Structure 1
């Protein structure tokens, strides 16, 4: 049976894959001419850079999430680790929605705090297991 931490890790990978699909769709009018407006413009032109920026974000702070989870997979992680992992994933989904759909930097910063604190909690567990 797979370790329970694998599922939130896979959920984050799925979110990242979904963002790749969205970015491909958003770029299709400019790259392949698919879905262009009658005037030739890209209907996704305003949202495409936000999707790209959010996709880049998935390879920054989340790196620390995945490393902590991999370390905790080897230790006797408890339910708290699993809860923190799911909080992280939920926070990443919210962060993506805010960044892509609103462009509200202040709100995005507040939502990012959810991810930040969850990963710090995971790393606290890693550090405590190392002692």
Structure 2
């Protein structure tokens, strides 16, 4: 397997790691509170309002990991399926993942809306560029 394909898979793994890390952190914030009886199960059965702020931020960020990153995963799978992965794919993929880490970091700590929005929009632009590059590369590829 070429190095660029391995690096693309590693970028995907880094995004998965972010999602799993947020999930574990969210569990560490939520489960002990429910287990100690600080939060009644009935109070969280329908919404998250009974959780403290940090747990709600983590939950919102976890949900967010299934929005733009879903389009990222599809792009990576298509890139690997059609072949011809190059450094542009790798750089855009890693840039997207880095911006997702920045977005998550802001989201679950200071939650500064303008910083979070800037990271989100930057990631969206990079993801759009990845998709444009991917589609052009596949459509303009010579036929076999």
1:102 aligns with 110
TM-score, structure 1 as length reference: 0.87
Q: Which runs of 5+ in 1 are unaligned?
A: 37-43
Runs (4+) off by over 3 Å: none
1:93 aligns with 101
**Does residue 10 of structure 2 align to residue 7 of structure 1?**
yes
CA distance in 1, matches of 2:21, 2:69: 16
TM-score, structure 2 as length reference: 0.79
Q: How does 1:24-39 map to 2 (within 5 A)?
A: 24-33=27-36
Does structure 2 retain, via aligned residues, the 8 Å contact 1:87–1:114? no
Q: Which runs of 5+ in 2 are unaligned?
A: 39-50
Give the RMSD, CA atoms, in angstroms.
Answer: 1.7
**Does residue 75 of structure 2 align to residue 68 of structure 1?**
yes
Shift of 1:57: 0.3
Looking at CA atoms only, which structure, 1 or 2, has the larger radius of gyration? 2
CA distance in 2, matches of 1:70, 1:111: 24
1:78 aligns with 86
1:116 aligns with 124
